[in-house]
A and B are shown apart, each in its own frame.
Chain A
Amino acid sequence: MTDAAVPKGPPPSLLELARVFFWTGVFSFGGGLTGWIHRQVVHQYRWMENDDFLSGIALAQVLPGANVTNLCVYVGYRIRGGWGATTTLFALLAGPTVICVLVAILYHYVADYPVLQACVDGVAAAAVGLNMRIGIVGAQRVVRKLAPTIAMIATFVAVGIFQWPLVPVVLIIGPLSVAAVWPRKARDHA
């Protein structure tokens, strides 16, 4: 709830941006990437505001391509423009690209160790908790307003429970949700 009140900090250098996204990439197991990026850029370094980040998530998921690289491009662009986007994308992918191949090379030696498998599963499950946390932050901002709450729940039920295809769902709920918060003055002029 306090997120909106948190002032934005000064923008980082490209090197600082690269450093943060490199380590985010290296330690991102099992799809917790978005949660981790959110924690870094919104909470810890305050390079971005929460609503800006959340609308970036929606944008990243609607556009084609991996959600997290799209988000990365969006976040990098918002923080430091085109070079920022280039930096975040390459920094995020550099580590995992190399590690992925190393894991493939070593795979046959380690596949039989259940302890290692348990570590991977445990880290992956905990990483999902990071994503849940973004949901909670978003939900806290939304619940006092009726229309956004309905939009949030409808999206969750359609995509999460019913597993309906994401793009048509967003194309239907998106305009309705935006219309509900459209500024009155602008509507009068139209």
Chain B
Amino acid sequence: MREDSQLSAYLSLMAVFVPFSLVAIGGGPSIFAPIQREAVDVQHWMSAREFVELFAIARVAPGPGSMLATVIGWKVAGWAGAFIATAALFLPSSILCLGVSKVWNRYRGADWHTALETGLAPIGTGLMFAGVIAIFRLADAGPLSWGLAALVAGALTWRPKTHPFALLLIGALAFNIDLYLAH
């Protein structure tokens, strides 16, 4: 009996996350709302409050924000559920991306390919700046966050060899000083 219910939990995790993998256009955040609907209202895996908690956990832990799927999988079916949900969310889109990269790469060196690359690079750059704003908007960041990010970017521009660990450490330190002063 118990094995049956485990198996059906694995299958429903796959049934939910595989389609999300292929419609997550523009990255993970675009599917957070539909995932919430599915997990809370449709599958009844958890309450809305528990969902928000898992969302916070995924943000605190390292890795892409879409690791939300991993913790949902864990909540539903333990460690195996975590691995299954992770694979279900990341593998389909990755296989598609590999296919596109292959085609993209086959024509490397052609004039039009160089033009595509030169034309797309500034868009990638614009998207990076847009992403900075999007992350801070999501996190409701204050001037300390902005200042810190600017400081890190400046330090890396001035001294490209600066180790990122040192900069991340400064970040943690700055926020703790801020916390201390606020008390």
Query: When A100-B82, A170-B123 are in contact, do A119 and B176 touch as well, CB less than 8 Å?
Result: yes
B130 at the interface (CB under 8 A from A): yes
B71 at the interface (CB under 8 A from A): yes
**Bound Cα distance A7, B137 (Å):** 38
Distance of B175 from chain A, by nearest CB (Å): 3
Distance of A60 from chain B, by nearest CB (Å): 7
Q: Which residue of A lies closest to B96 (CB)?
A: A63
Beyond contacts A43-B160, A130-B153: 6 other A-B pairs, Cβ-Cβ < 8 A, are: A26-B62, A59-B100, A85-B94, A122-B176, A132-B150, A155-B126
**Bound Cα distance A117, B139 (Å):** 13
In the complex, which residues of chain B have a beta carbon less than 8 angstroms from the beta carbon of A61? Answer: 26-27, 124, 127
B97 with A178: CB separation less than 8 A? no
**Bound Cα distance A3, B48 (Å):** 47
In the complex, which residues of chain B have a beta carbon less than 8 angstroms from the beta carbon of A121? Answer: 139, 145, 175
Contact size range, A? 35 or more
Most B CB within 10 A of own CB, among A26, A59, A65, A178: A65
Shortest 8 CB-CB distances between A and B: which pairs?
A65-B93, A96-B63, A129-B152, A126-B171, A155-B126, A138-B125, A160-B130, A178-B119
A165 at the interface (CB under 8 A from B): yes
B131 with A66: CB separation less than 8 A? no
B57 with A139: CB separation less than 8 A? no
B120 with A54: CB separation less than 8 A? yes
B168 at the interface (CB under 8 A from A): yes
B60 with A103: CB separation less than 8 A? yes
Distance of B57 from chain A, by nearest CB (Å): 5
B171 with A122: CB separation less than 8 A? yes
Binds A, one of B3-11, B34-42, B110-118: B110-118
**Sample of 18 A–B contacts (CB below 8 Å):** A54-B125, A55-B124, A58-B123, A62-B25, A65-B92, A66-B27, A77-B98, A96-B61, A97-B83, A97-B86, A114-B179, A118-B178, A123-B168, A126-B167, A136-B157, A139-B125, A142-B125, A182-B119
A20 at the interface (CB under 8 A from B): no
Q: Give per-residue flags for B140-154: 1 if the beta carbon is below 8 A from chain A beta carbons, else 0.
A: 010011101111110
Distance of A66 from chain B, by nearest CB (Å): 4
Interface, chain B (partner A; CB < 8 A): 21-28, 53-54, 57-67, 70-71, 74-75, 79, 82-83, 86, 89-90, 92-94, 96-98, 100-102, 104-105, 111-112, 114-136, 139, 141, 144-146, 148-153, 155-157, 160, 164-165, 167-168, 170-176, 178-179
Distance of A86 from chain B, by nearest CB (Å): 8
Distance of A112 from chain B, by nearest CB (Å): 13
Query: When A101-B71, A139-B125 are in contact, do A125 and B130 touch as well, CB less than 8 Å?
Result: no
Q: Within A166-190, which residues are at the interface with B (CB < 8 Å)?
A: 166-167, 170, 173-174, 177-183, 185-186
A18 at the interface (CB under 8 A from B): no
**Bound Cα distance A34, B126 (Å):** 14
B97 with A70: CB separation less than 8 A? yes
Q: Which residue of A lies closest to B93 (CB)?
A: A65
B172 with A123: CB separation less than 8 A? yes
Q: Which residue of B lies closest to A27 (CB)?
A: B62
Instruction: Pick the contact of B117: A51, A100, A135 (CB < 8 A).
Output: A51
In the complex, which residues of chain A have a beta carbon less than 8 angstroms from the beta carbon of B121? Answer: 51, 54-55, 58, 138, 141-142, 148
B90 with A66: CB separation less than 8 A? yes
